[in-house]
Structure 1
């Protein structure tokens, strides 16, 4: 079974996505969707990285909750910053954050966290993975931002993956 469907959840998602995009549940569309759901994971299997080790599940749950909280808080801050932009323009800035993370899975998770939190954009990772360049929508204190970023995101990811 694993040989035919190396990623059953991905196959199920592809089939569901196919049927939603075509907006048809005809036999032909279902067969096409099933063929895409079976063939695409087989073709892409060599490109998939091996799964990363998850060591601390409680830390992962706390990190997910913290990111959810930060997404809501940052969305409110960005909305307020846009609302008052004419009277008080946001102070956007690029920030260099020194990194201790080296695991590729942890860096990928950090990328997703940075992308999902409103007001932050991952700009560049140093070739030696020692520093990260982030653009922040409205920055009051660079040192406080770096401390928050490292404590709330990097440190838990380091505990989970390394």
Structure 2
């Protein structure tokens, strides 16, 4: 069964998406949808990355809660910065964060976290994965930001993936 459907949830999603896009449940569309749902995951299987090693599920749960809290807090801070921009313009800056994290799954998770936190933009990863360039919306203390970034995001991801 695993050889025919390497990703059953993906196949189910493809079938559902196909039927929703065609807006009909005729036999022909159902058969075409099943064909797409079976063939596409088989063709794309070589492109799928290997599963990541997840360790320390408790750390992962705390990280998810922390990121959720930071999203809300950062959204409020960015909104306040935009509203007071005429009185005190934000001091946007690029920050180079040295990285200890090397795992590709951990780096991907770090990229998603950086993208979802308002006020931060992942700009560039060094070719040797030793440093990350981030643009910060309003930066007062670069050293404090680097410490906060590493302690809140990189170190938990390192514990989870390495």
Q: What TM-score results when the alignment is normalised by the length of structure 1?
A: 0.91
Distance in 2 separating the partners of 1:116 and 1:21: 29
Displacement of 1:23 after TM fit? 4.1
Displacement of 1:121 after TM fit? 0.9
Displacement of 1:150 after TM fit? 0.3
SS in 1 for 2:59: helix
Which position in structure 2 is the counterpart of 1:134? 134
Distance in 2 separating the partners of 1:83 and 1:31: 54
Q: Indicate yes or no: 2:83 matched with 1:80.
A: no
Q: Which runs of 5+ in 2 are unaligned?
A: none
Displacement of 1:79 after TM fit? 1.7
Could you say which structure has the larger radius of gyration?
2
Mapping 1:4-19, distance limit 5 Å: 4-19=4-19
How many pairs does the alignment contain? 162
Which position in structure 2 is the counterpart of 1:70? 70
Displacement of 1:86 after TM fit? 2.5
Q: Post-superposition, which runs of at least 4 consecutive aligned residues in structure 1 deviate over 4 A?
A: none
Distance in 1 separating the partners of 2:71 and 2:21: 29
Mapping 1:31-110, distance limit 5 Å: 31-110=31-110
Instruction: Please provide the CA RMSD for this pair.
Output: 1.6
CA separation of 1:87 and 1:56: change in aligned 2, threshold 3 A: same
Q: What TM-score results when the alignment is normalised by the length of structure 2?
A: 0.91
Distance in 1 separating the partners of 2:85 and 2:139: 14
* Mean Cα deviation higher: 135-144 or 22-31: 22-31
Distance in 2 separating the partners of 1:81 and 1:28: 55
Displacement of 1:90 after TM fit? 1.4
